[in-house]
Amino acid sequence: MALRGVYSLQFNQDQGCFSCAMESGVRIYNVEPLAPRLRLEKDVVGSVTRIEMLNRTNLIAIVGGGKMPKFDENTVLIWDDFMKKFVLELTFPAWVLNVKLRKDKIVVVLCNQIYVYSFPNDPQKLFTFDTRPNPQGVCALSPSSDHQILVFPGHKQGSIQIPDLSVVESGFSSSPVTINAHQGEIQCIAINQEGTRVATASSKGTLIRVFDTTSRKQLVELRRGSDPATLYCINFSNDSCYLCASSDKGTVHVFALSNTTLNRRSTLAKVGIKGQYVESQWDLANFTVSAECACICAFVQPSSIIAACVDGTFHKYVFTPEGSCNREAYDEYLELGDDEEF
């Protein structure tokens, strides 16, 4: 059941906007400052389960579904908001679970396959990846021109696969990089803006690991908590100095990446005691939202972080290197007017 009619939330590539897929259609909001940017009613698009923006352009990928769909769940439609109409339709053999866009490609995720097409003019299928069952549609796509990588769960449980999308000939990419990231199923994946780092979490949700996408080396292991949890979102800051994560525990965590000495560690580590939890790096700062309420989180400034939740609430906090975290703004984005043009 969609909470307040919201099926999913998604940031655009620079995390400056977020889209809201709803029973009543589509809504898009600017993050800083928080303001409505676009609204498409259900008589135009029906109920929608997934939206993907292409940066701040007029092109938006939409997947129907929910209670009042106007379009099949195995179809991706591209809405051109300048022309005020759909300009592209792609149909697949199974339900579409996720869509990712970059300026030259569209990636469509099914439960057992991932399709990559050229985009936006006259899309041509570049290649198809067969995957292990991926019912959550877990996938991340780099916006970088220098590192055109795609990341999704590998064939082995807990692994991730990283093909280079810039090397494609006759339907084949270069040999994908595979990283054994976790023991459990992959739940969340995030790529930094440059495409040089990837963060992963498993269905257990206790640890987040960050890897170099070229060398495959693990750079840092971060601990969200000791109790299992479902992670909803992981995101890098634009400068890759920090990482945030949200889970069904109702806590949004902030971790330092460039200066990991800022992250908290157990007091037992200081006296030489070793162990699974003692040596872990815990968050630098955190704040709480409604428990078990799915939310997405991102950095809007080097020291500011926001969370948009499916209950319609919007939270903005400011954190310091010392670990304090104070609320700067709270709003209910679904109640905001929609007078502004996109």
Q: How many domains does the chain have?
A: 2
Q: Cα–Cα distance between 184 and 25 in angstroms, integer?
A: 35
Tokens of residue 44, six digits? 């135009």
What are the residues whose beta carbons fall under 8 Å from the beta carbon of 124, sequence distance 6 or more? 117, 118
Q: How confident is the model at residue 23 (pLDDT cuts 50, 70, 90)?
A: very high
- Does residue 157 form part of some domain? no
pLDDT above 50 (res 340) = no
Q: How confident is the model at residue 274 (pLDDT cuts 50, 70, 90)?
A: low
Work out the average pLDDT over 267-277.
50
Helices (H), 23-160: 42-45
Q: What CATH code is carried by the domain that includes residue 263? A: 2.130.10.10
Which of 77, 92, 107 marks a domain boundary?
A: 92
Work out the average pLDDT over 147-162.
96
Q: Cα–Cα distance between 22 and 66 in angstroms, integer?
A: 8
Question: Domain of 242?
Answer: 230-342
The pLDDT assigned to 3 comes to 76
Top pLDDT among 225 and 339 is at 225
Q: Cα–Cα distance between 155 and 137 in angstroms, integer?
A: 14
pTM metric for this prediction: 0.92
Give the rounded percent of residues in the chain with a pLDDT score beyond 70. Answer: 92
The pLDDT assigned to 171 comes to 53
The pLDDT assigned to 173 comes to 52
pLDDT above 70 (res 285) = yes
Which of 92, 120, 135 marks a domain boundary?
A: 92
For residue 20, how many other CB atoms are within 10 A of its CB? 27
Mean pLDDT, the chain, integer: 92
Q: Cα–Cα distance between 236 and 15 in angstroms, integer?
A: 10
What are the residues whose beta carbons fall under 8 Å from the beta carbon of 230, sequence distance 6 or more? 187, 203, 205, 247, 248
- Does residue 166 form part of some domain? no
- Does residue 193 form part of some domain? no
Using an 8 Å Cβ cutoff, are 2 and 22 in contact? yes
Q: Cα–Cα distance between 103 and 108 in angstroms, integer?
A: 15
- Quote the DSSP letter at residue 270: G
- Does residue 155 form part of some domain? no
Work out the average pLDDT over 291-295.
92
Which of 46, 72, 92 marks a domain boundary?
A: 92
Placement of tokens 């170099």 in the chain: 212
Top pLDDT among 177 and 235 is at 235
pLDDT above 50 (res 2) = yes
Long-range CB contact pairs, 275-279, < 8 A, 24+: 277/223, 277/226
- Least confident span in 58-67, 184-193, 269-278, 315-324: 269-278
179-204 confidence digits (pLDDT tens): 999 999 999 999 999 999 999 999 99
- Does residue 287 form part of some domain? yes
The pLDDT assigned to 279 comes to 65
The candidate with the shortest Cα–Cα distance to 99, out of 150, 159, 145, is 150
Helices (H), the chain: 42-45
Rounded to a whole number, what is the distance in angstroms from the first to the last CA of the chain? Answer: 29
- Does residue 10 form part of some domain? yes
Q: How confident is the model at residue 169 (pLDDT cuts 50, 70, 90)?
A: low
- Does residue 154 form part of some domain? no
pLDDT above 80 (res 341) = no
The letter for the amino acid at 150 is L
The pLDDT assigned to 273 comes to 47
Top pLDDT among 137 and 338 is at 137
pLDDT above 90 (res 176) = no
- Kindly report the backbone phi and psi dihedral angles of residue 241, in degrees, each rounded to the nearest multiple of 5, phi listed first: -80, -20
- Does residue 213 form part of some domain? no
The pLDDT assigned to 158 comes to 97
- For residue 16, with 0-12 CB atoms within 10 Å meaning exposed, 13-18 middle and 19 or more buried, which class applies? middle
- Kindly report the backbone phi and psi dihedral angles of residue 333, in degrees, each rounded to the nearest multiple of 5, phi listed first: -65, -30
